[in-house]
A and B are shown apart, each in its own frame.
Chain A
Amino acid sequence: MFEKALKGNNYYWMWLAFLGFFVGIAVICYLRQYFYGLGLTGMSRDVSWGLYISQFTFLVGVAAGGVMLVLPYYIHNYKAFGKITILGEFLAISALLMCLMFIMADLGQPLRGLNVLLHPTPNSMLFWDMCVLWGYLLLNALCGWVILTAERKQVAPPKWIYFFVYISIPFAFSIHTVTAMLYCGLPGRHFWLSAIIAPRFLASAFAAGPALIVIMALILKRVANFDAGKQAIDKMVTIIIYAAIANMFFVGLEFFVGYYSNIPGHYHTLQYLFFGLEHHGHVYNNLVPFMWGFLILFVIGFFLICNPQTRRNNDLWLGIGCASIFLSFWLDKGIGFVLGGFVPTPLEEITEYYPTANELFITIGIWAAGFFILTILYKIAIGVEHEVEA
């Protein structure tokens, strides 16, 4: 089916070239980092994880978000999602590949990555994260491919594939739960040490993932003559609304616990993220604009996808609304959550993190590589769709 990705109009090739350009820059930047070391990033012994791991964390959520299509379609037989379930599965594949690239970019000794398999360590959450991420990636690749092939041949998918489809549902939940467990099981990092991290991750994932799928469906409608169907889009927006509310509710609970209990460890990071934290006469606040951006974008996006005028009558407003929600939750989880957790340090000092240009270009390049893969996968899926229709 790959030949479908080899035929496209000029815009298709221009878009791929555009993404390829950033991938190329990232490759050069990565080689620089590979030969110099991670010192080329803005990370330090105090903020030992930076953009790479925070993007990884967010993208695991995007990957898990695809299950919001798979679950209603296969468990509840919600037919309207039939056409776009493949979009969710393919989004999961490209998001997971981005995750793996971010992990590799973050390793100090990438060539030793296989040590995780050679010396399996079940007490490490990273080991389990590797298991579920690879598992979910393979499941999505398998299910997506088999079902798409069957659709192309216009036969029913083989029965055995449903076993893997159903397995993939708990896997989707597990990838983000285990990713949350990377953080919420660490003693002494108060901001992360909260039982609500896993549900909060899932909630923001189930908003951000479908939001991206809606954006993609709206774009595909314009550029690829692929109509996901009004009913499907509308149902997805409903899912996004509830998941987004759940996420904000959980964020609010964190605020209540932190500020009402007034225990310094519980509110210091929130203070740092949203208002700036004073320490020895200096106010540290480099993430404050991002966090307020998170709140403002949420309000804008929420209004746009709730208000019937903007939600149902205008694709552009709906797209902007979903993009706002996506960006908002990216700021929340892809920036604030991971970077904020390192402030203050265990030695009650504050080190602020600023990514370097090299690091930013690698990050942008991995995102571009992900969208490159996504474009090709969607091209194949829609090519098959058109072939069947024709």
Chain B
Amino acid sequence: MDKKRRDFLKVAGISTLAGLGGTAVVDRLVSGTHPSVANASGGHGEEHAAPKEEHAVQEAPKTGKRYGMVIDVKKFQEDPALGERISRACIQAHNIPEFPEKKDEIKWIWMTGYENAFPEKSTLYKDETTEEHQVPVLCNHCDNPPCVRACPTKATFKNKDGIVIMDFHRCIGCRFCMAACPYGMRSFNWRNPRDFITEVNRDFPSRMRGVVEKCNFCAERIGVGQKPACVEACGDTGAMVFGDLNDPESEVRKLLKENYTIQRRPSLGTHPSVFYIV
């Protein structure tokens, strides 16, 4: 009996080691999805200068593009109706349902308080504009998106143009991506959205209940050479400018060079592609 027991102990030791090894593999896999070189986090403005790193989970071949957006908050203060215009444009373009109850709410782009969008930048004595005016928030299309890391089916992924996009056909509705998004930009179809779409756009599908959705940077529009709906709704105010962050000659890069910009929660290392001129 004793001898037998010793054999068991050997096996036990080996299997425990194997178990520990397994955890190490998991850890490697997790850390493998992080950027190998830490970007200048912690700070704010500087980050836009170095979006060249290529990392994060990727399946499609890269075009070398990374679409991004520069939002001029001052323009939204000058024209208070602009915020409503851009969110309406998005709702119409994407058949976003409008539910009577807040609990069911689905939104892609909307206006929120400055302190809600930038909670780390709160001040005790706010200037009047910060207190009164709102800023638009939308999916940041992070270069290192936590939601993509979390998704167990690759239903949300970063496409070849750097856009974080949803494949509604594949989403199982586990909502891990919603917990993972540090910006609260994802919504879930708690019920069938069909009956709550006010103006139907017949060029774009709706969604079914039980899947997650969010801003897709109008991938369907930029794929055919159009601007995102919200950018188009801004007209020539220049409140929102869309373009390729990897192209040094693009308009977005020019704006980033000329203006002091901030990103939402840059300290989390997600490398958002949406920049704000404040």
Contact = CB atoms under 8 A, between A and B. Distances in A.
Q: What size tier do the contact residues of chain A reach?
A: 35 or more
Interface residues of B, number: 67
A345 B131 CA distance: 20
Given A170-B20, A188-B183, A107 B173 contact: yes
A45 interface: yes
Nearest to A103: B174
Interface in B118-177: 119, 137, 146, 149-155, 170-176
B137 A347 contact: yes
A182 B146 CA distance: 12
B154 A121 contact: yes
A173 B19 contact: yes
B22 A166 contact: no
A113 B270 CA distance: 28
A348 B115 contact: yes
A346 B118 CA distance: 10
Interface string A16-47: 00000000000000000000111101111110
B117 A347 contact: yes
A123 B105 CA distance: 29
Given A44-B190, A185-B30, A121 B151 contact: yes
A124 B115 CA distance: 31
Interface string A373-386: 00000000000000
A144 B248 CA distance: 64
B68 to A, nearest CB: 20
A112 B210 CA distance: 11
Contact of A48 (B149, B188, B192): B188
A125 B150 contact: yes
A170 B190 CA distance: 38
A38 B171 CA distance: 15
B57 interface: yes
A189 B146 CA distance: 12
Given A108-B211, A174-B22, A162 B172 contact: no
Given A108-B209, A119-B170, 10 more contacts: A38-B188, A38-B190, A38-B210, A43-B188, A110-B172, A115-B152, A119-B155, A341-B179, A346-B184, A347-B116
13 contacts: A45-B186, A46-B184, A109-B211, A116-B172, A124-B150, A124-B176, A126-B176, A166-B16, A167-B19, A186-B146, A187-B269, A188-B146, A347-B112
Interface of B: 5, 8-9, 11-12, 15-16, 18-20, 22-23, 26, 29-30, 32-33, 57, 102-107, 112, 115-117, 119, 137, 146, 149-155, 170-176, 178-184, 186-192, 209-212, 265, 268-270
